[in-house]
Amino acid sequence: MDRIAPPLTGNERETLRAFLDFHRATLAMKCEGLTDEELRLRASPPSTLTLLGLVRHMAEVERHWFRRVLAGEDVSHVWSDKHDFQEAYDASASTRAEAFAAWEAETVFSRRFEAEADSLDVTAYFGKWEADVSLRLVMLHLIHEYARHNGHADFLREAIDGVTGA
């Protein structure tokens, strides 16, 4: 996945789309060149957080917001029978191929949904908040979620092989 900097003068939709894709690409970049075993390394036990776990978690997050909330699909979690996003973090038996295939399938769906939406004002009811949420809010939420977890990815990658940087 190419990591392209967001436009400095784009409109709102272009900017949101670009920032979201930038953060998706950042997570992929943090995982580049590592083996399955390295992707499963925990930087600070007892935490189960790993780079592969972050990829799995973000697949669940994309799936939740775009498929369940915005598209109204009745789909289960990929890695949890209990609707628990945290279960995705435990990637001890996972592989790059499995985790990345799930994540990429969800990002393809998310991108298609966003591209086909008439506007950022498209809304859907979100039961947990008992309110409608807009595509704009979902995109901003995912940007926030990726940015936060990319900070975790920085520390995880540095602990694995010393690689740091954007």
Instruction: Render pLDDT for 67-77 as a digit per residue (tens, 0 to 9).
Output: 999 999 999 88
- pLDDT at 88 exceeding the cut of 90: no
Instruction: Render pLDDT for 9-23 as a digit per residue (tens, 0 to 9).
Output: 889 999 999 999 999
166 domain residue, yes or no: no
CATH number of the domain that residue 127 is part of: 1.20.120.450
pLDDT at position 126, please? Answer: 84
Cis peptide before 7 (omega within 30 of 0): no
Contact 27, 58 (CB under 8 A): yes
21 domain residue, yes or no: yes
Instruction: Render pLDDT for 114-150 as a digit per residue (tens, 0 to 9).
Output: 999 999 999 998 887 788 999 999 999 999 999 999 9
2 domain residue, yes or no: no
5 domain residue, yes or no: no
- pLDDT at 166 exceeding the cut of 70: no
Task: Fill in the DSSP letter of residue 85.
Answer: G
Number of domains observed in the structure of the chain: 1
Domain that holds residue 46: 12-161
Instruction: Render pLDDT for 27-54 as a digit per residue (tens, 0 to 9).
Output: 999 999 999 999 999 877 788 899 999 9
4 domain residue, yes or no: no
